Each structure stands twice: as C-alpha cells, then as structure tokens.
Amino acid sequence: MLRHQLIHPQINAILGAAGHHSTILIADGNYPAASKRGPRAEVISLNLMPGVVTCDQVLQAILSAVPIEQIQTMQTETSGPYALDGDPPVWADYRRTIAAAGLDLELKPIDKWAFYDAVKTDDHVLTIQTADQQRYANILLAIGVRMD
C-alpha cells in the first residue's frame, strides 16, 4: 500500500526507476508532448476533458512521492497574443503547493525555447500531459536525492 498521494501505477513505476537529475515535465493541455520530449521519455496522458486534471493537481501528487531539487517554468512572453503582465495566476498556485509540501524552492522561469531544450534531454524520463487550460502552466521538475 502506497503512503503518498500518487497512486497512478505507471507514473509510480517510472519515478521508481528514475534517479537524481531525472526530469519530469508536467505539461498543460497546449504543450506539444509528442514532439517536445527527451529521447527516452514516456508520455502519460491524464487529459480527461478541458481543465481535468490540472498541472497543480499533478504537482501535488508528484511532490508527495519523490524529492525535487529544482522547478523550472516557461517564461511568459511580453508581446504578442500570449503576452502577460507579470506572473501567470497558476504560478501562485504552484508556490502554495510547494510551500504546503514543506519545500523551500523557487520557480525558475526560462525562455520558451530554452524550456523546450531543457525538456529534450537524456535526463527527461516522463511527461504527464494534463488538460490544464491556463497559459504558462508547463512545469519541469528535477528529481533530487532522498536524504532520509
């Protein structure tokens, strides 16, 4: 019987085989998961219908299961149709979830194309595709080291 919140058997199997520096992408519903991933990464679709499930819900489950040492987000655009003034609302949700998990981690925004490059590495083991409709909800987690 699992003691953490994450109960998805395939995700647990992938995380159980992953190690330090392996990365997990929690992708929103607009992310091109079929083409922007690492060469050995598995894609698990949890996109039931628009908005179900969200990236923040998946983040809560992942943080309950494995140690995370770094969290990167896709930097917002400052011009064009997807531009935002300031942080997207979903980042406030992430910060609350991170704090509730007892972690002292900051979100590290990186340029959109650098984000895609960070995902497309040998360390990328898993993409969890959600149906989150919020802009800039993609989040890349780096697995840390178990200290206990």
Angstrom distance (rounded) from CA 83 to CA 124: 28
pLDDT at residue 26, as a whole number: 98
At 148, the pLDDT band (50, 70, 90 cuts) reads confident
Q: pLDDT at residue 3 above 90?
A: no
Domain assignment present for 121:
yes
Domain assignment present for 1:
no
Q: pLDDT digit string (tens) for 62-96?
A: 999 999 999 999 999 989 999 998 999 999 999 99
Above pLDDT 90, what percent of the chain? Answer: 95
Mean residue pLDDT across the chain: 96
Expressed as residue numbers, the domain containing 34 is: 9-143
pLDDT at residue 1, as a whole number: 63
Domain holding 84: CATH number?
3.40.1650.10
Centre a 10 Å sphere on the Cβ of residue 31 and count the other Cβ atoms it contains: 23
Domain assignment present for 2:
no
Domain assignment present for 71:
yes
pLDDT at residue 66, as a whole number: 97
Instruction: Please state the pTM of the whole predicted model.
Output: 0.96
Among positive and negative, which fits the CA dihedral 98, 75, 82, 36? Answer: negative
Domain assignment present for 4:
no
Centre a 10 Å sphere on the Cβ of residue 111 and count the other Cβ atoms it contains: 12
Q: pLDDT digit string (tens) for 12-64?
A: 999 999 999 999 999 999 999 999 999 999 999 999 999 999 999 999 999 99
Residue pair 85/76 in contact (Cβ under 8 Å)? The answer is: no
For the chain, how many structural domains are there in total?
1
Chain centroid offset of residue 8 CA: 16
